[in-house]
Amino acid sequence: MNKHGDISWDRIHEESEKSYHFASQHPLDQIADHWFQNPPIGPTLFLVFYTLACRWSRCLGCNLPSLSSELHIPYQCINQQIDQVFTRLLTKPQKDELRKIILSNNGSVLDERTFSTTSLLYFVAMMNTHCPNIAELTIESRPEYVDMAELEVLSRALAEGQTPTQLEIAIGFEAFDDQIRNEHFAKGMSLEVFEALVRKLALYRYHLKAYFMQKPVPGMSEEDAVDDIRRAIDYLSNISRQFGISINMHLNPTYAARGTALEKAFIDGEYSPPLLDSVRRAVLHAEGSHISVFVGLSDEGLSTTGGSFLRLGDTDLVQRLEQFNLTQDYSLLK
């Protein structure tokens, strides 16, 4: 533990073979990143707040904490970042057009050690005030930080906006295979933990987003990676039907991120990112299922040189996948 009461980053880096540095010079009153998406619900804003880095930070190929702080960021500074979003970042037309916001800090927004509950409630108040047509708010978190009492308060606040807003919880699942997910990727999440979360969310009719990574570890063939996603689709579809919960799979093709063990494996010729056509084939398996799918198509500028899943000749398929994200029209992928 350091003087801020946080875990030792040196120890975590040593255990997980990571060598990236934190964004220690980032202004405390400015968000880390943002971008816009176009899922079927309508214009969507993805916000990444600058806070203390994810306190798990062990996942094999993840260097997202490199965009975060090694030290605690007080709620006053997070509130200033929220002010930046709603008073300077967004134009009036954008505020009016937005239908969904995804709230992230490259870790767990529901971990009050990294994202203050005061700031979370302030965010909802500002969103209700400035964005009258938000139909859904997504909050990223690891399952262990999901506090149902907190979510009930949030859902009440969301209902007070001009447009009643659905709450969606997004968690990193990464891989369906237990051994790959927990022993190789070091996610630290069992199916039992996931299903316990599903039961809680279903009681309140909250939605669920599950992030998956195609081909997240060395040693997987293209077909192994496709099969893992197909099995995940079948599992999530059954869970959705069984518990009556809306589930979205957010599928990210894996890239070799700088400063991680996956970068070393890529440089040593022991790993190659998935082919985008393999992603297409995996997604097709969801046709007729009970879930929706969104394909992530950005490496967020964090891949090592040559380590992105995007290759020459992928332009047409990228455009088809982007259109699929907007329409869920599977004929685009055939």
In a domain, 4, yes or no: no
Chain segment 103-114, per-residue pLDDT in tens: 999 999 999 999
Q: Are strands 44-48 and 292-295 parallel, antiparallel or unpaired?
A: unpaired
In a domain, 2, yes or no: no
Tokens of 25: 């010079």
Report which of residues 6 and 116 the model is more confident about: 116
In a domain, 111, yes or no: yes
3-state class percentages of the chain: helix first, strand second, coil last, to nearest 5: 40, 15, 45
CB-based contacts of 15, cutoff 8 Å, min separation 6? 58
In a domain, 78, yes or no: yes
- Would you give the distance in Å from CA 121 to the centre of its chain? 20
Tokens of 39: 């899922």
In a domain, 109, yes or no: yes
Per mean pLDDT, which range of 1-15, 157-171, 218-232, 287-301 is the poorest?
A: 1-15
In a domain, 1, yes or no: no
Tokens of 109: 């927004």
The stretch 19-32 carries a mean pLDDT of 86
pLDDT of residue 49: 98
Reported as a pLDDT band with limits 50, 70 and 90, residue 5 is: very low
Chain segment 39-97, per-residue pLDDT in tens: 999 999 999 999 998 887 777 767 777 878 999 999 999 999 999 999 999 999 999 99
Chain segment 113-122, per-residue pLDDT in tens: 999 999 999 9
In a domain, 204, yes or no: yes
List the Cα angle 99/100/106 in 5-degree steps.
160
Tokens of 154: 């949030």
CB-based contacts of 14, cutoff 8 Å, min separation 6? none
Task: Give residue 323's domain range.
Answer: 9-333
218, 86 contact by CB (below 8 A):
no
Task: Look up the CATH number of the domain holding residue 300.
Answer: 3.20.20.70
Q: Which residues of 262-272 are buried (b: 16+ CB within 10 A; e: fewer)?
A: bbbbbeeeebb
pTM of the predicted model, to two decimals?
A: 0.92
Number of domains in the chain: 1
- CA–CA gap between residue 28 and residue 240 (Å, rounded): 40
Three-state SS at 172: strand
In a domain, 269, yes or no: yes
